[in-house]
Amino acid sequence: MAIKKEMQDAINDQINAEMFSAYLYLSMASWFEDEDLPGFGNWMRCQYMEETMHAMKFFNFLNERGGRAVLKAIEGPDTSWKSYDEAFAAVVKHEEYISERINKLVTLARKLEDYATESFLLWYVDEQVEEEDTSNTILVKLKRLKDDQNGLLRYDEEMSARVLSALAVPTILDQPVVA
Ligand code: FEO
């Protein structure tokens, strides 16, 4: 059964929200790198790619359900923040906002008795728990390191180790990557 227009429109709005998330984190990558914190820049670049994958997973789903992804203009994100912890407080707030949006999509899928979409959305429900937890953890650590420059540089080095999980890649393609 093809996806209903109301559900498709809501998912298209979510594709836009995920692309905005990608744009926001890419903007933060630029800012952190300009602040000479390349590790945080790397973390944000990974986050940017992960958000693009979130958008693409929705994009693929619409195609599979006989719908169509319709792309809209992406709003310009902020380009600077007053402090490092203020930047991460913005990440936490944004992820909480995205979680609310995902919950509303689940509510809509239930209302429309669209169980295929509801089942698909549960991946995002779980993902948001992780997104909120990770950003909160980093925020708490940054607050603790506020006046500790050496600690901040050590943390930056730690952040440079993040690589995008290979397991996340198939979510772009919705098929395993073959060598
Ligand atoms: Fe796609 Fe960070 O939520």
Tell me the one-letter amino acid at 86.
E
- The pLDDT of 2-18, averaged and rounded, is 98
- The answer to whether residue 37 is domain-embedded is yes
- The answer to whether residue 174 is domain-embedded is no
179 has a pLDDT exceeding 50:
no
- The answer to whether residue 177 is domain-embedded is no
Task: Give residue 54's pLDDT.
Answer: 95
Residue 95 Cα to ligand 1 middle (Å): 6
- The answer to whether residue 161 is domain-embedded is yes
Mean pLDDT of the chain: 93
Q: Is 21 in the pocket of ligand 1 (CB under 6 A)?
A: yes
Q: What is the Cβ-side half-sphere exposure of residue 142, based on CA atoms within 13 angstroms?
A: 19
For 35-177, where are the alpha helices, taking DSSP H only? 38-64, 84-111, 115-144, 149-159, 170-173
Q: Band of the pLDDT at 164, cuts 50, 70, 90?
A: confident
Rounded (5°) CA angle 32-33-34: 90
Q: Looking at the whole model, is its pTM more than 0.95?
A: no
84 has a pLDDT exceeding 70:
yes
Q: Is 22 in the pocket of ligand 1 (CB under 6 A)?
A: no
Residue 99 Cα to ligand 1 middle (Å): 8
pLDDT tens across 28-73, in order?
999 999 999 999 999 999 999 999 999 999 999 999 999 999 999 9
Judged by phi (left if over 0) then psi (alpha if -120 to 50, else beta), residue 66 lies in: left
Q: Is 98 in the pocket of ligand 1 (CB under 6 A)?
A: yes
22 has a pLDDT exceeding 70:
yes
| CATH number of the domain that residue 89 is part of | 1.20.1260.10
Residue 98 Cα to ligand 1 middle (Å): 6
152 has a pLDDT exceeding 90:
yes
3-state secondary structure of 70: coil
Domain count, the chain: 1
Judged by phi (left if over 0) then psi (alpha if -120 to 50, else beta), residue 174 lies in: left
Q: What is the Cβ-side half-sphere exposure of residue 73, based on CA atoms within 13 angstroms?
A: 3
- The answer to whether residue 175 is domain-embedded is no
Backbone φ, ψ for residue 42 (5° rounding): -60, -45
Q: Which domain holds residue 54?
A: 5-166
Task: Give residue 167's pLDDT.
Answer: 54
